[in-house]
């Protein structure tokens, strides 16, 4: 079982695995793999803690009720699966500032934290605006040959590449 | 279709969790839960993300359409419009470029110990989707339905059998991957 403790597998093997997993999700659960609505539901649950049941009356939470569902469990599973993988390969370590970031912008954890929050906010708005993320549109939608998903994933990478080049090459 | 299984809600939650565990395991083994790998892709210096995604798309596309042909699966293409898909997609991309994780890989990044994902990205993402739920009524009225094209798929758009598109597209993606490798 040495392969389970390898740090990295071939990206093609991983891609085939994810493709097969998508088939399993369609077969067993009638669901495309997707991640971003789980965050909407969680945000609704947190909002409900502060504002009570009237949160459920918000138009958006009528579409995506603030409760645990299949996709929510999927996201919890991703956390567990990545933890197991990293634990088995010795890749598990608490890290504030990734190497590529510190090479370009220094090793201030505070700066990296602040920028991550801002990036997360913009990405969260964009994910729900576009109705999906890199998994829901990027993999599950494209494999269904959905026009919306191919258009979305092209826009994800245009925005992402332009922003990354600006941050790393211009600033 | 395994309709009886699909209707069992508690079993479905466990299947969701198990699919997630395998997905997270694969993402971490592929290296795509790492900021350095994702930013390498966006800076066009490391094509690991593209290799994983494109291989997954080819495999899944063939597999899911086979299941559909066998009557074992139904498609659920997402609806879209220029107002939602293009503007939202570009916004997502900008956030993706700033943060260096996407929602799914971020859950995996937290699992491998990335604290910028846990305390930065996740917090930001939850604020972002919360802000969107506030903006939603106005956006829905003004922007999200502009240039609506519904849940259109390419086979329906071009009025051809899906295999007529899947086979050349799969061949094209494989050619592209071979080109990236050489």
Model pLDDT, residue A163: 98
Q: Give A110: exposed, middle or buried? Use CB within 10 Å, 0-12, 13-18, 19+.
A: exposed
Instruction: List the beta strands (DSSP E) in B46-139.
Output: 80-81
Query: Closest residue of B to A32, CA-based?
Result: B76
The band of B136, judged by pLDDT with boundaries at 50, 70 and 90, is very high
Each residue of A111-158: pLDDT tens digit? Answer: 999 999 999 999 999 999 999 999 999 999 999 999 999 999 999 999
Asked whether residue B150 carries a pLDDT value surpassing 90, the answer given is: yes
Contact (CB<8Å) B136/A100:
no
Contact (CB<8Å) A116/B120:
yes
If one counts every other C-beta atom within 10 angstroms of the C-beta of residue B12, the result is 19
If one counts every other C-beta atom within 10 angstroms of the C-beta of residue A93, the result is 10
Query: Closest residue of B to A153, CA-based?
Result: B89
Asked whether residue A2 carries a pLDDT value surpassing 90, the answer given is: no
Residues 20-79 of A with CB under 8 A from B: 20-33, 35-36, 38-40, 42-44, 46-47, 58-61, 68-79
Asked whether residue A171 carries a pLDDT value surpassing 90, the answer given is: no
Model pLDDT, residue B40: 98
Model pLDDT, residue A90: 95
Distance from CA of A142 to the nearest CA of B (A): 7
Model pLDDT, residue A45: 96
**Phi, psi values for residue B148, rounded to 5°:** -70, 135
Contacts of A117 in chain B (CB under 8 A): 120-121, 123-124, 127
Query: Closest residue of A to B165, CA-based?
Result: A145
Q: Which of B78, B97, B116 sits opposite A149 (nearest CB)?
A: B78
Q: Give A92's contacts (C-beta < 8 A, 6+ positions apart).
A: A83, A86, B112, B113
What mean pLDDT do residues B12-32 have?
A: 98
Model pLDDT, residue A95: 97
Each residue of B74-115: pLDDT tens digit? Answer: 999 999 999 999 999 999 999 999 999 999 999 999 999 999
**Considering the entire predicted model, what is its pTM?**
0.97
The band of B1, judged by pLDDT with boundaries at 50, 70 and 90, is confident
B85: left (phi over 0), alpha (psi -120 to 50) or beta: alpha
Query: Closest residue of A to B138, CA-based?
Result: A59
Each residue of A27-86: pLDDT tens digit? Answer: 999 999 999 999 999 999 999 999 998 999 999 999 999 999 999 999 999 999 999 999
The band of A1, judged by pLDDT with boundaries at 50, 70 and 90, is confident
Most A CBs within 10 A among B78, B82, B101, B163, hence the mutation to make, goes to B78
Contacts of A114 in chain B (CB under 8 A): 120
Contact (CB<8Å) B53/A139:
yes
Can you give A15-47 as a three-state secondary structure string?
A: HHHHHHHHHHHHHHHCCCCCCHHHHHHHHHHHH
Contacts of A160 in chain B (CB under 8 A): 42, 93-94, 96-97
Asked whether residue B10 carries a pLDDT value surpassing 90, the answer given is: yes
Kindly state the tokens that stand for A79.
């956390």
* A48 closest CA partner among A33, A29, A61: A61
Query: Closest residue of A to B49, CA-based?
Result: A11
Contact (CB<8Å) B85/A131:
yes
ipTM of the complex: 0.97
């Amino acid at each position: 079982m040495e392969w389970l403790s390898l740090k990295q597998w071939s990206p093609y093997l991983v891609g085939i695995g994810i493709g097969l997993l998508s088939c399993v999700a369609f077969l067993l659960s009638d669901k495309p793999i997707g991640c971003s609505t789980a965050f909407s539901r969680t945000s609704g649950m947190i909002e409900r803690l502060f504002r009570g049941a009237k949160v459920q009356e918000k138009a958006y939470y009528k579409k995506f009720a603030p409760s645990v569902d299949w996709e929510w469990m999927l996201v919890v599973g991703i956390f567990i699966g990545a933890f197991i993988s990293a634990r088995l390969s010795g890749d598990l370590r608490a890290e504030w500032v990734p190497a590529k970031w510190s090479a370009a912008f220094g090793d201030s954890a505070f700066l990296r934290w602040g920028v991550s929050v801002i990036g997360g906010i913009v990405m969260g708005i964009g994910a729900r605006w576009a109705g999906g993320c890199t998994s829901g549109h990027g993999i599950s939608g494209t494999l269904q040959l959905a026009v919306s998903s191919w258009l979305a994933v092209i826009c994800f990478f245009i925005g992402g590449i332009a922003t990354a080049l600006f941050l790393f090459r211009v600033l | 279709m395994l309709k009886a299984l699909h209707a069992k809600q508690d079993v479905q939650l466990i299947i969701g969790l198990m699919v997630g565990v395998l997905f997270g395991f694969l993402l971490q083994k592929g290296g795509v839960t790492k900021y350095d790998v994702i930013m390498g892709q966006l800076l066009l210096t490391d094509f690991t993300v593209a290799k994983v995604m494109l291989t997954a798309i080819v495999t899944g596309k063939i597999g899911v359409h086979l299941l559909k042909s066998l009557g074992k699966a139904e498609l659920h293409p997402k609806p879209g419009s220029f107002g939602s898909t293009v503007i939202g997609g570009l916004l997502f991309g900008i956030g993706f470029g700033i943060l260096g994780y996407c929602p799914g890989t971020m859950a995996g990044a937290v699992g491998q110990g990335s604290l910028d994902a846990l305390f930065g990205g996740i917090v930001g993402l939850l604020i972002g989707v919360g802000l969107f739920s506030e903006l939603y009524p106005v956006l829905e009225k003004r922007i999200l339905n502009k240039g609506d094209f519904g849940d259109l798929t390419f086979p329906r758009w071009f009025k051809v059998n899906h295999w007529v598109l899947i086979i050349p597209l799969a061949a094209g993606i494989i050619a592209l991957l071979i080109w990236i490798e050489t």
